[in-house]
Structure 1
Amino acid sequence: MRSKVIVIPLFLFFVLSTFDSTMVKAETDFDKMKAHIQKKYAGQKPKLWGEKIPGVITRLNTHEKVIALTFDACGGPKGSGYDAELIYYLRQHHIPATLFINARWIDANYGRFMELSKIPQFEIENHGYLHKPLSVSGKSAWGIKGTSSPAEVVDEVYMNKLKIAKLTGRTPKFFRPGTAFFDDVAVKIVYELGQKPLNYDILGDAGATFNRQQVKNALLSAKPGSIVIMHMNHPEGETFEGLKDAIPILQKRGYKFVKVEDYLK
């Protein structure tokens, strides 16, 4: 009995070969870049650690009465929720926002992520691969151990950058680490990886732990060019309630809401 021979059309063979070679090249380039970063920064010891150290963007470059609302989606066992009411309110009132999304949240909410990525009023940005504080020496913040080498910084930043770009067709421009903590060496690496480290000047909900009045008060303290950090992954919190109380007041004060990318290129 003759064995069957599977014939692959020439054009399909070409497509598969091209795909495989592209993937191999991407992996090779990533490995080379990580090795370069590790070698370049291995001897550098960080001197600064925090959320608002030099090099980290905390405000928009403008004196206009605009505010950038940013929402983190952290992922993980306790961080993969979705505040549907909050997102619905923003959509219904045509309020732009910048969403910092972690790879773990994408994996747990793939359909929602893809839907959000197609809504023009939302800007998708990079919140890291494993939601770690960004350190070259393993420093911790809020009980979460940070990355422990330049190579791990590359993994944390670049792997989610590639993930978002592959899924959406748009490469994120800005990076915010888990807990929002950086050291100064990690900040330099972020820039070298083609991302801009971005945090905030208004703590909007303290990891979704603020109550309704605290969220409202925080938002009402915003000034022209403020960047507000809040969370969209804790529907059990009161972020949405405080937000909807504050937004009409801010609008009466003459403020409008913008995406980060509208003012920071």
Structure 2
Amino acid sequence: MINSVRRTVSTCVLAALALGAAACSGGGTGPAHPARADRPAQSPSAAPSPAGAPTLAPGPGGLTRVFKNAARSKERVVALTFDADMTADQGPRAAAGEHFDHPQLISTLRRLKVPATVFMTGRWADQYPAEARDIGADPLFEVANHSYSHYAFTDDCYGLPTVPPARMRTDVERAFTAFRRAGVEHVVPYFRFPGGCYDKQALRALAPAGVTAVQWDVVSGDAFATDADAVSRQVLDGVRPGSVVVLHCTRSAAPTTERVVRTVVPELRAKGYRFVRVSQLIGATRKG
């Protein structure tokens, strides 16, 4: 019953986030140095594939593969992922003072020495180029693609505007271009669907981009949450060896996340967990 309630609450919170502040964490169905702005332009779909960043081979029918978590093994590893969300049309809100970034969270991850994967929208990188560049320059982190616009890749995805199928790949590649323009390093060829919503049509459309789609198996519930303890409990109760946890790097939409990190990191370490980036989980999956 408790788990059922948590799933319901998480879905409602994620829907609110998608509608109100363009966060990306719904339940879906379903190399380190890329080219900088001062380097010759190259194909966006080829640019983000760094040496040593593993991807999953296409699935049946050539569809983009989806990674949710690593195999459950005796090795207690977990990947914390943070969605840096901003939609293409939220510039006026940022200009009016709304903060879609979260420097304190990044500082806390550094202080605690927690590797993490940041799924960044291209619009976020355009709005905060210095912060995007700073995150990408730190080898503790890796930057992955969360689309440019943060518009949905399926219909009926928490009220988000929809990207037409013919423009899905373009939207993803536009985000990689925004990363290069900002001088972001440590970009990996992973993609997270806005709202977590995808179908076969979306997976087929993204196949030429050469990315691996990354979802999660632990919803933190940090979107618009005001009770950091409740979010922390949900993460701690959900984590298993090989888990991918979805959180957010957006002050206005996820104000408790930094406090949650300060709670869950030491507790998970006390349980024997080691924090890794998504690329390390995918690499381990390919070897297995």
- Fold-level similarity (TM above 0.5): yes
Letter in 2 for 1:239: T
The alignment status of 1:82 with 2:101, answered yes or no, reads: yes
**Residue of structure 2 equivalent to 1:227:** 244
The alignment status of 1:176 with 2:192, answered yes or no, reads: yes
With the length of structure 2 as denominator, give the TM-score of the two structures.
0.68
Q: How many residues align?
A: 216
What do residues 49-85 of structure 1 show as CA deviations (whole Å, max 9, x unaligned)?
xxxxx94211024622001000001114368522222
Corresponding residue to 2:156 among 117, 140, 151: 140
User: Where in structure 2 are there 5+ consecutive unaligned residues?
Assistant: 1-39, 47-63, 284-288
**Residue of structure 2 equivalent to 1:256:** 274
Letter in 2 for 1:67: V
Report if the CA contact (8 A) 2:153-2:198 is conserved.
yes
The alignment status of 1:96 with 2:112, answered yes or no, reads: no
The alignment status of 1:72 with 2:72, answered yes or no, reads: no
**Residue of structure 1 equivalent to 2:55:** none
Report if the CA contact (8 A) 1:164-1:170 is conserved.
no
- Gap change, CA 1:152 and 1:248, over 3 Å in 2: same
With the length of structure 1 as denominator, give the TM-score of the two structures.
0.73
Corresponding residue to 1:122 among 141, 153, 159: 141
Letter in 2 for 1:213: D
Report if the CA contact (8 A) 1:208-1:239 is conserved.
no
Report if the CA contact (8 A) 2:222-2:256 is conserved.
no
Alpha-carbon distance, 1:192 to partner: 2.8
**Residue of structure 1 equivalent to 2:67:** 57
**Residue of structure 2 equivalent to 1:5:** none
What do residues 217-259 of structure 1 show as CA deviations (whole Å, max 9, x unaligned)?
1220200000000001125611111221121111110001000
User: Where in structure 1 are there 5+ consecutive unaligned residues?
Assistant: 1-21, 30-53
SS of 1:190's partner is: helix
What do residues 78-100 of structure 1 show as CA deviations (whole Å, max 9, x unaligned)?
68522222111110111000000
Report if the CA contact (8 A) 1:165-1:172 is conserved.
no
Based on CA coordinates, which of the two structures has the bigger radius of gyration?
1
- Gap change, CA 1:122 and 1:258, over 3 Å in 2: same
Report if the CA contact (8 A) 2:123-2:178 is conserved.
no
